[in-house]
Amino acid sequence: MSGDPYGTPAWRRRLGVGVLATGALLIAVTAGRDVPREQPLVFRLDRPLDRGGRLTASFTRVGDAEANVGFTLELPPGPSRNVTHKVRLPNGDYIVTVDVAGGEPTENVQAEASGPSARAGETSARERVTLSGSEVVVPVREQPTP
């Protein structure tokens, strides 16, 4: 048998399909990093909003100047301190800015926020989070905004 098995048309066809499949896989992996995914979030408040309220959040990708996405939720009155929500964003590192308004602050918070510019019942937080498709807890600590 004389003949080069690598020079046959069948071998070249297999090699071509292999190169094409490898290229398609590399493109899919590269493009897949920027595909928005459903990201479950839990905003953990320091106190329940007994009278209801409003939570506003915005997400800015680390390195970007402007927010990529944001939302506002009307919160019903109740004893829960956890607010769950899902956003569609690509995986990565983000700065989450959260503002919570509503309800009456506790006496301790009123004493700490007794300055003339403090607004009762408002909290603002800024956290760096890494979104990867799994649930992320964003702590929202009670610090009245000026």
**What is the CATH classification number for the domain harbouring 91?**
2.60.40
- Per DSSP, what are the bridge partners of residue 138? 43
pLDDT at 110 (0 to 100): 40
Structure confidence by residue, pLDDT tens digits, 29-81? 776 667 888 999 999 988 888 888 899 999 999 999 898 899 999 988 888 88
Whether residue 53 sits in one domain with residue 10: no
Whether residue 99 sits in one domain with residue 28: no
Domain that holds residue 135: 37-140
Residue pair 130/136 in contact by the 8 Å Cβ criterion: yes
5: left (phi over 0), alpha (psi -120 to 50) or beta: alpha
* Over residues 84-96, mean pLDDT: 93
Whether residue 113 sits in one domain with residue 50: yes
Whether residue 122 sits in one domain with residue 65: yes
**Is residue 128 in a domain?**
yes
With b meaning 16 or more CB within 10 Å and e meaning fewer, what string describes 6-15?
Answer: eeeeeeeeee
Residue pair 45/57 in contact by the 8 Å Cβ criterion: no
pTM for the predicted model, two decimal places: 0.66
Confidence tier at 124 by pLDDT (50, 70, 90): confident
pLDDT at 145 (0 to 100): 47
**Is residue 145 in a domain?**
no
Instruction: Tell me which of 97 and 49 has the higher pLDDT.
Output: 97
- In total, how many domains does the chain have? 2
Whether residue 75 sits in one domain with residue 18: no
Whether residue 73 sits in one domain with residue 25: no
Task: Kindly state the percentage of the chain with pLDDT values over 70.
Answer: 77
Whether residue 61 sits in one domain with residue 2: no
Whether residue 109 sits in one domain with residue 46: yes
Whether residue 11 sits in one domain with residue 42: no
